[in-house]
Amino acid sequence: MEPKGKRVLVAMSGGVDSSVAAYLLKKDGYDVVGATLQIWPDDPDETVREDVGCCSLSAVDDARRVAEVLDIPYYVLNFKDIFDTSVIAPFVEEYKKGRTPNPCILCNWRVKFEAMLDKALSMGFDYLATGHYAKVVEKNGVYSLLYDAENKKDQTYALYRLTQHQLSHLLLPVANIEKEKIRSIAKEAGLPVAQKKDSQEICFVKDNDYASFIRDYTKEEPVQGDFVDLEENILGKHKGIIHYTIGQRKGIGLAAESPYYVVRIETDTRRVVLGENKDLFEKSLQADQLHWIQKEPSEYPISLQAKIRYSAKPVPATLDKKENGIAFLTFLEPVRAITPGQSVVFYQDELVLGGGIIRDFE
């Protein structure tokens, strides 16, 4: 398919990947404009961090310096309201329910590839580009998102919510390039972020302290509850369910002969169930809010591979469809720490089929 045009808005995070994406597109003859989203409030000390993250104040400084080197226009777009309603508020509500959300997936889904793409198209751009490591291919007008098992930086897990419309206007210039090569390109191009470290933290949570952020955001103190074992024996008191996630070992604060792990969080009773590492392995899960990049399968069950967290590898599973849009996924072998609120993403070899949000496990 011939390109619709050459005007592209590059989502510049201030990192090396999106900076090289802008560089490569300009080198290929595109009319490139850079933009960073303002997601922090007018008083950044109250919520969103101003020092670290893909849309922080420091990211703006870095992105602007890269744009100057590349000699491209650069803008900061105010998306703080949509970020609050689409990312931060759902993040807080999920933790209050004893679930563990993935705000980066929410941001990609609702902010970057929905709101930002709509903004780009309304401004007359033909494409939105990012520095994500994923491959998009088109055949007979149908777009596919492909997983690269050989690339440790593959980010298809975070992109499974993409639609055909979004894929048709998306450019991912760094898709097939290894990270070290990206840094080499940046250095050769004179980009000031060539050696900048990748951010490992959520942009609006300081020091990964989710509980403090939620307490400050809601102005509510978490309600304490009981730690119990698998036989429902009370082991002690916990600090509030927002402090815990499935598979957690640190921060429990109970002495025992062998380490305790969080194996379940009961929202109704506010109990946190503890067990051993072996108790974290399950063979099946339920998921809802299903999304298919192409068409939903016409028949069930289907064989596929699935991954339940960003850092996992896709593993064999069988997917069946239940009533009310709920999917039932059974793994060939037990997997560790299935976590409600996280996404499960479906693959068939290199093809990304789609995914959903984990409701529960069995």
* pLDDT exceeds cutoff 60 at 310: yes
Residue 66 burial class via C-beta count within 10 angstroms: exposed 0-12, middle 13-18, buried 19 and up:
buried
Q: What percentage of the chain reaches a pLDDT higher than 90?
A: 80
Q: How many CA atoms lie within 13 A of 300 on its CB side?
A: 14
* Tokens encoding 305: 């591979």
Q: Are strands 7-11 and 127-129 parallel, antiparallel or unpaired?
A: parallel
pLDDT of residue 150: 83
Q: How many CB atoms lie within 10 A of CB 140?
A: 5
CB 152 within 8 A of CB 312: no
Span of 39-43, 53-57, 84-88, 267-271 with lowest mean pLDDT: 53-57
Q: Three-state SS across the chain?
A: CCCCCCEEEEECCCCHHHHHHHHHHHHCCCEEEEEEEECCCCCCCCCCCCCCCCCCHHHHHHHHHHHHHHCCCEEEEECHHHHHHHHHHHHHHHHHCCCCCCHHHHHHHHHHHHHHHHHHHHCCCCEEECCCCCEEEEECCEEEEECCCCCCCCCHHHHCCCCHHHHHCEECCCCCCCHHHHHHHHHHCCCCCCCCCCCCCCCCCHHHCHHHHHHHHHCCCCCCEEEECCCCCEEEEECCHHHCCCCCCCCCCCCCCCCCEEEEEECCCCEEEEECHHHHEEEEEEEEEEEECCCCCCCCCEEEEEECCCCCCCEEEEEEECHHHCEEEEEEEEEECCCCCCEEEEEECCEEEEEEEEEEEC
Span of 6-10, 130-134, 299-303, 319-323 with lowest mean pLDDT: 319-323
Span of 98-112, 115-129, 194-208, 271-285 with lowest mean pLDDT: 194-208
* pLDDT exceeds cutoff 60 at 31: yes
How far apart are the C-alpha atoms of 104 and 111, rounded to whole Å? Answer: 10
Which residues contact residue 306 at a Cβ distance below 8 angstroms, ignoring those fewer than 6 apart?
A: 314, 315, 317, 319, 329, 331, 344, 345, 346, 347
* pLDDT exceeds cutoff 70 at 46: no
CB 39 within 8 A of CB 79: yes
Tens of pLDDT along 219-240?
999 999 999 999 999 999 999 9
CATH topology of domain 280-361: Elongation Factor Tu (Ef-tu); domain 3 (2.40.30)
- What's the rounded mean pLDDT across residues 196-222? 85
Respond yes or no: is residue 54 known to be catalytic: no
pLDDT of residue 1: 35
- What's the rounded mean pLDDT across residues 321-330? 87
- What's the rounded mean pLDDT across residues 250-274? 94
How far apart are the C-alpha atoms of 278 and 261, rounded to whole Å? Answer: 9
- What's the rounded mean pLDDT across residues 74-78? 94
pLDDT of residue 86: 95
pLDDT of residue 176: 86
- 7-207 classified as CATH 3.60.150.10: no
- 222-275 classified as CATH 2.30.30.280: yes
pLDDT of residue 47: 45
Tens of pLDDT along 338-354?
999 999 999 999 999 99
CB 35 within 8 A of CB 72: no
Query: Is residue 362 very low, low, confident or very high in pLDDT (cuts 50, 70, 90)?
Result: confident
The residue from 54, 55, 104, 203 that is catalytic is: 203
Domain ranges of the chain: 7-207, 222-275, 280-361
* pLDDT exceeds cutoff 90 at 324: no
pLDDT of residue 256: 87
Listed ranges 91-95, 196-200, 205-209, 321-325; the one with the highest mean pLDDT: 91-95
Residue 190 burial class via C-beta count within 10 angstroms: exposed 0-12, middle 13-18, buried 19 and up:
exposed
Q: Which residue has the tokens 């975070």?
A: 158
* pLDDT exceeds cutoff 70 at 84: yes
The residue from 54, 55, 104, 107 that is catalytic is: 107
Residue from 354, 357, 324, 319 nearest 338 by CA: 357
* pLDDT exceeds cutoff 90 at 358: yes
* pLDDT exceeds cutoff 70 at 169: yes
For the chain, what is the mean pLDDT? 91
* Tokens encoding 65: 């310096």
How far apart are the C-alpha atoms of 143 and 210, rounded to whole Å? Answer: 37
How far apart are the C-alpha atoms of 195 and 243, rounded to whole Å? Answer: 34
Query: Is residue 42 very low, low, confident or very high in pLDDT (cuts 50, 70, 90)?
Result: low
Q: Which residue did the predictor score with more confidence, 42 or 214? A: 214
